Amino acid sequence: MDTFDTLTSEKELFSPSKEIIKNSYIEDYDKLYQYSINENEKFWDETARQLDWFKHYDKVLDYNPPFAKWFTGGKINIVHNALDRHIHTFRKNKLAIIWEGEDGKERTYTYFALYRQVNKFANVLKSFGVKKGDRVTIYLPNIPEIAICMLACAKIGAIHSVVYAGFSVDALKDRILDAKSKILITSDGAYRGGKIIELKKIADEAIKKAPVVQTVIVVKRTEHGVSMDSSRDFYYDELMKLPIASSYCKTEETDAEDPLFILYTSGTTGQPKGILHVHGGYAVGTYISSKYVFDIKDSDTYWCAADPGWITGHSYIIYGPLLNGATSLMVEGAPFYPYPDRWWKIIEKHGVNIFYTSPTAVRGAMRYGEAWPNRHNLSSLRILGSVGEPINPEVWKWYYKHIGKEHCPIMDTWWQTESGAFLITPVPTMPLKPGSCGKPFLGIDADIFDENGNSCESEKGGYLVIKKPWPSMMRTIYNDDKRYEETYFSKFGKNIYLAGDTAKRDIDGYFYVMGRIDDVIKVSGYRLGTAEIESAIITHAAVAESAAIGKPHELKGNSIKAFVVLKPGIEKSDSLMEDIRNNVGTHLGPIAKPDEIEFVDSLPKTRSGKIMRRVLKAREMGISEGDLSTIEED
């Protein structure tokens, strides 16, 4: 791991203003953190008591490593906490969701209005026979209905599985099949960058290959006319007008450990992993992290610019903010379309106080220059956030200066689909170091291990691990306990969660995440498995074999380069290259299209036949290829 030691820590420190300190929920992070670790269960117990329980739990933690259950014996429903309880308070008529469409359309929902829509749709789902424990696949763009559908599932104890609307046929098919969903909710289309993405068409193709789906509910968004199969397809708006869609539906009193959702994420090999989260622990984690890290107050307008189809959207557009009774802004479409100041205009228009985005988006904004944000009054902003990949110090400073005007602390939150909520992050009162994601969140026992499982001294890079379970952690990989154990709990034993990232800590205890250890490529903050990309490449009739690697990219964090071996007798050509790229787009989604393709005659492999992507990457980057003793190149 010697390559880790060359990174330098930023020495500059950015301290919070008096205003930020005065408003913050956390005064003394160090003291509270110590308490949260020394009295870990007590800390989580006190936190869980801030939510409403139908029945109080018997036990805080029931740990059978690597499987942890939290708040066992307790009855809770996340929707009761995110919606139902607010309608009996002053929040009844407060805005829960403000939505901006790419076409300039705007819609708003008060807590009461959202509550009614969720009740109605929950009744629709029930009328189709959806019961507690059933899986419902949701393939929708960033529109309010995605929140309504997710909450309606959770309300009746059904398990939602959201598939990001940027994914294509095969990705959707795999996820439907793995979850065995009988119901799919989609829309006619999605707007992105002025174009319409044909979601319904993609869904039809996917269902052909995944015939488990019996019912398709179609939300009208683009209204451009799609083909409907009358035996299977129903329009959402028509269903919502029927008497069955009455405006009261009882919230299911789910167990704390009952599944809430599955969200698929890429792994090193094979199929994407169905990360399973549950009602109780996930509610506790997303509630407290949103509150403490973003300092959300009732007067705030909060905007997380992610897509609801990713974990960031699940936890920090929908569940976390609503659990806190906040006003959450949802924005459809591409960030810089039709003009590079679209986002800054939106911040000004809605008086956004807390703004959460990704390093990729900030790099994109930087490319257009500061004149664009400077045209707008961004003085409502108080706290900024970043997520998805390490934020380069220069990008951090640009964000701090040109968006936050040097008075908004940046919460660089490190976490994962698997973690459900923030694991390592600053809190607003913590002095910040650009490029560092701060320190472990309350209750999170994070460390950095060397190859032998010893804690690394400061400035030494190693494996990022979590040494205690936490409430919002995934419970398993859907239907695959073995893979759960092997992926996350085999390297250092059953008590140590291996996050899959490398990191180091500086002398002051600040963490710096360096990247993934496995064959996962982060493109624009999205996690793509090399296996998935390669599988999509070889669906092309001309391809025999392929290997994908990530290369550092100024804007996207990483770009994808694919090495492709063609079938015998096939001529290499530029048009073939383009055809292979487009084919990946069709199968997996545009984000997975390789930026570069190189035709090669063979791929380096281990004796057991595993492709050595590490070697290809080293060659590409012009660095040492490391230990090649197991290589076999045919």
Query: What's the min distance (Å) between Cβ of 413 and ligand WT7?
Result: 5
Which of residues 57 and 415 has its CB atom nearest to ligand WT7 in the complex?
A: 415
Query: What's the min distance (Å) between Cβ of 75 and ligand WT7?
Result: 29
Q: Are 279 and 78 in contact (CB under 8 A)?
A: yes
**Sequence-separated contacts (24+) of 482-487 with Cβ below 8 Å:** 483/273, 484/66, 485/66, 487/267, 487/268, 487/273
Query: What's the min distance (Å) between Cβ of 368 and ligand WT7?
Result: 23
Pairing outcome for strands 59-64 and 195-197: unpaired
Q: Is 594 helix (H, G, I), strand (E, B) or coil?
A: coil
Q: Are 256 and 57 in contact (CB under 8 A)?
A: yes
- Name 331's bridge partners: 100
Beta strands in 287-437 (DSSP E): 301-304, 327-331, 354-357, 383-386, 410-412, 424-425
Q: What is the number of other CB atoms lying within 10 angstroms of the CB of residue 6?
A: 7
Helix (H) / strand (E) containing 162: strand 159-162
Which of residues 9 and 77 has its CB atom nearest to ligand WT7 in the complex?
A: 9
Query: What's the min distance (Å) between Cβ of 68 and ligand WT7?
Result: 19
Which of residues 120 and 504 has its CB atom nearest to ligand WT7 in the complex?
A: 504
Q: What is the number of other CB atoms lying within 10 angstroms of the CB of residue 41?
A: 14
Structure tokens, 22? 């005065």
Structure tokens, 310? 């990713």
Residue closest to ligand WT7, measured at CB: 417
Which of residues 183 and 464 has its CB atom nearest to ligand WT7 in the complex?
A: 464
Which of residues 141 and 390 has its CB atom nearest to ligand WT7 in the complex?
A: 390
Query: What's the min distance (Å) between Cβ of 348 and ligand WT7?
Result: 26
Query: What's the min distance (Å) between Cβ of 425 and ligand WT7?
Result: 8
Which of residues 303 and 414 has its CB atom nearest to ligand WT7 in the complex?
A: 414
Which of residues 325 and 500 has its CB atom nearest to ligand WT7 in the complex?
A: 500
Query: What's the min distance (Å) between Cβ of 501 and ligand WT7?
Result: 5
Residue 592 Cα distances to 333, 542, 551, angstroms:
18, 19, 14
Query: What's the min distance (Å) between Cβ of 516 and ligand WT7?
Result: 5
d(CA 113, CA 253): 22
Query: What's the min distance (Å) between Cβ of 512 and ligand WT7?
Result: 9
Contacts of 95 (CB under 8 A, 6+ apart): 108, 109, 110, 111, 327
Which of residues 373 and 388 has its CB atom nearest to ligand WT7 in the complex?
A: 388
Q: Are 122 and 166 in contact (CB under 8 A)?
A: no
Structure tokens, 251? 């919230």
Place of tokens 């959201």: 162
Q: Which residues bind ligand WT7 (CB under 6 A)?
A: 265, 311-312, 387-390, 412-417, 437, 499-501, 513, 516, 522, 527
Which of residues 190 and 499 has its CB atom nearest to ligand WT7 in the complex?
A: 499
Radius of gyration of the chain (CA): 24
Q: Is 98 helix (H, G, I), strand (E, B) or coil?
A: strand
Q: Are 543 and 598 in contact (CB under 8 A)?
A: no
Q: Are 111 and 83 in contact (CB under 8 A)?
A: yes
Which of residues 80 and 527 has its CB atom nearest to ligand WT7 in the complex?
A: 527
AA letter at 230: S
Which of residues 183 and 503 has its CB atom nearest to ligand WT7 in the complex?
A: 503
Query: What's the min distance (Å) between Cβ of 439 and ligand WT7?
Result: 13
Which of residues 325 and 438 has its CB atom nearest to ligand WT7 in the complex?
A: 438
Which of residues 312 and 327 has its CB atom nearest to ligand WT7 in the complex?
A: 312
Query: What's the min distance (Å) between Cβ of 106 and ligand WT7?
Result: 27
Helix (H) / strand (E) containing 187: strand 183-187
Query: What's the min distance (Å) between Cβ of 365 and ligand WT7?
Result: 17
Question: With helix as H, strand as E and coil as C, how does 18-70 read?
Answer: HHHHHHCCCCCHHHHHHHHHHCHHHHHHHHHCCCCCCECCCEEEEEECCEEEE
Structure tokens, 73? 């014996």
d(CA 120, CA 249): 7
Query: What's the min distance (Å) between Cβ of 277 and ligand WT7?
Result: 12
